[in-house]
Amino acid sequence: MIILFSALLEGLTFVEPQYCAVLVDAENVLPEMALDALRLTEEMNVKVIFQAFGDWTNIWSDWQKVVNDFGIERIQVDRTSNKKNSSDIALAIHAVKLHFENEINRFIIVSSDADFLHLVRVLTNRQCIVYGVGNELTNESLRRAYVRFFEYKSKNVSEQPVSINVPNKGSDPLNDYREKLLALCLKYANQHGWVSISSLGTFMHMKKCQLPDGFNKLIKVLTYFKNDFEVNNTHTLVRAKYKDVSLLR
């Protein structure tokens, strides 16, 4: 019986499965964008390494649900300063390690951050196949660097209105911007009420909301409305000070 089984095996060819690493900049994209990337891997018929990078003590609850439901590996990135690119650096390091140590040659980068352009070029020069998933704000140079770029069309942020009961300070562009900030800040807050300022800025861009006249950074708007928002010491997180709010989720 053993001899017969060995003879059968001699005629078989065993093929190592192809792997694809899906690396998600979780602090700067919507959870639905990661699910778009997951659907792409199903079409590729590959085994998936699925990792999402960010400070998971402060990422909003919608992300936590997606991570739990789809078995995405959380990569915790602790913030040691007020710099916002800690997750970007961690993602890039992991990508290079996966290529050199695990011989992964296929990647999907889920982010709209132009800082990943150099990483994509490095991987491509190493004969890797690199796809991208991002929103409509993704830099054109980054789009062209990918083998193929998939643009996510947001419905939840850019099309559906979010309502919230807050004190009305009059109808003018600055206060209109303030109310949109409050709505999104509360909608995407984690269990402690915090949301990353970087993510908040991305959502405002997706809603086609430009910074008000006289402000060149979102953090300046948030500190201007210090009675409405609380910013942490490193200027990376913000939360609304209002508790009696009604929110459409």
Domains and CATH numbers, the chain: 19-151 (3.40.50.1010), 173-240 (3.30.420.610)
Report pTM. 0.64
Residue 165 pLDDT: 45
pLDDT at 45: 79
The H or E element that residue 49 is part of is strand 47-54
Q: Which of 200, 187, 209, 184 is nearest to 232 (CA)?
A: 200
Q: 115 exposed, middle or buried (CB, 10 Å; 0-12, 13-18, 19+)?
A: middle
What pLDDT is attached to residue 81? 56
pLDDT at position 131, please?
A: 95
Regions of the chain with pLDDT less than 50: 2, 4-5, 8, 14, 156-167, 169, 244-249
Strands 148-151 and 195-196: unpaired
Helical segments of the chain, H only: 2-10, 31-44, 61-70, 86-102, 117-125, 140-145, 173-187, 197-206, 218-224
Q: Residues 94, 121: contact at Cβ < 8 Å?
A: no
Q: Is 8 exposed, middle or buried (0-12, 13-18, 19+ CB in 10 A)?
A: exposed
Q: For residues 72 and 110, is the Cβ–Cβ distance under 8 A?
A: no
Question: Whole-angstrom Cα distance, residue 131 to residue 52?
Answer: 16
pLDDT digits (tens, 9 = 90+) for 72-118: 899 998 876 555 578 889 999 999 999 999 999 999 999 988 889 99
Cα torsion for 201, 206, 212, 216, to the nearest 10°? 40
pLDDT at 98: 95
